[in-house]
Structure 1
């Protein structure tokens, strides 16, 4: 798009289906690399990615020629298919429906990158669900508790 100049920083957060803790340390770096490729092939810039066994954070510089929902759907579909092809899981892998997408100013980028890099330490003190609810509250997003990622029963 000629004469279109943007600076859009978005953090995506979504969970493994049923919040199963199945993203293993053994292959999570390969998953991050694969998702980085998906992001780049869609023309966006990956700023930071990190995952815990049950969820993932992806922070990008986004181009305006693709919708957020289209990109997230592409990332989820292609990465799920790849995980299955690689036979990383004994059970069937899928991402849970839904996602969070949170926008940031340029001045916030370093702090968001650091936050995502430190997920392992962060989740020693706070659960994913508590973290997710804090994101929703901090961004003044009205949500219905029945649609929040649920704890395993």
Structure 2
């Protein structure tokens, strides 16, 4: 049996960055559902949080998991769940694209703190500004949705 520790920090937004997750209560329900669902599917989520129009998720990939498959399972099922639950008066969708970067063990606590503090962080910096900084920091070109 292989022993693997590969941490990935995923970030993705709602469709067109629409603020679907507009209340703290709704966000808490979404993050809890993502955690519970991932656990059922054998996906280890170390930490999840976000804000009104995006989600951050620190995941430790298993030996048979790909980033693409993990994102499909998390995003697809959580969209289905929130639409089925009737928590919103409109159809919820996540953007197709996502950002993913590996995280070394020495940086795990820093990334956890960053994800944990999304509510206060976004009182000072918008998601659009943060997204642009991430793209520049890691040398990514613009995604299709921009």
TM-score w.r.t. structure 2 length? 0.91
Query: 1:27 Cα shift?
Result: 2.0
Q: CA RMSD of the aligned region, Å?
A: 1.5
Kindly provide the CA deviation profile for residues 119-140 of structure 1, in whole angstroms up to 9, marking residues without a partner as x: 1111122111221222223233
Where in structure 2 are there 5+ consecutive unaligned residues? Answer: none
Give distance in 1, aligned partners of 2:123 and 2:27. 19
* Conservation of the 8 A alpha-carbon contact between 2:43 and 2:70: no
Map 1:49-88 onto structure 2 (within 5 A). Answer: 49-88=48-87
For 1:29, the equivalent position in structure 2 comes to 28
1:104 equivalenced with 2:99 (yes/no): no
For 1:18, the equivalent position in structure 2 comes to 16
Give distance in 1, aligned partners of 2:102 and 2:37. 20
Give distance in 1, aligned partners of 2:52 and 2:122. 11
Map 1:34-53 onto structure 2 (within 5 A). Answer: 34-53=33-52
Between 23-32 and 104-113, the greater mean CA deviation after superposition: 23-32
Where in structure 1 are there 5+ consecutive unaligned residues? Answer: none
For 2:6, the equivalent position in structure 1 comes to 8
Give distance in 2, aligned partners of 1:139 and 1:18. 22
Give distance in 1, aligned partners of 2:105 and 2:64. 20
Moved over 3 A (4+): none
SS in structure 2 of the partner of residue 22 of structure 1:
coil
Give distance in 1, aligned partners of 2:41 and 2:28. 20
Give distance in 2, aligned partners of 1:38 and 1:68. 16
